[in-house]
Structure 1
């Protein structure tokens, strides 16, 4: 197996990420608003301060990439 082929396949998978994750805009905006609000006063962001929003965003990303059944979809050719 050629090293070049591996990189070409990896790049092709990475190019699909924006389309897959595009449906997570609402969760990304909520997380961004939370971080912005948390850092507005003191300028410090505390760990787990926006945990609920982060988890919602992470779940959306996971569903977009892995689907409901946990298998990676849309990133591997033929799926």
Structure 2
């Protein structure tokens, strides 16, 4: 059944997430600070307000995943 192998791959990726995410702690902190700073009070986060910070986090996470796959 092809669904079970897809689930196994997804589960494995989820297991690696904390380890990979930990490698990007500075980028995650910067993104979190941006989100926090732009949503003070009842202000909602607007699209692309923290795009630069998110892109840096995404790039870091992608690179960490690639290094782990080697």
Structure 1-normalised TM-score?
0.68
> 1:36, 1:30 → 2: CA distance?
10
Q: Give ranges in structure 1 of 5+ residues lacking alignment.
A: 68-72
Once superposed, which parts of structure 1, at least 4 consecutive aligned residues long, lie more than 2 Å away? 1-14
Q: What RMSD in Å do the two structures reach over aligned CA positions?
A: 2.2
Q: Give ranges in structure 2 of 5+ residues lacking alignment.
A: none
Q: Which residue of 1 aligns with 2:11?
A: 11
> 1:28, 1:58 → 2: CA distance?
9
More helix by share: 2
Structure 2-normalised TM-score?
0.76
Q: Point out the structure with max Rg over C-alpha.
A: 1
Q: Which residue of 1 aligns with 2:60?
A: 60
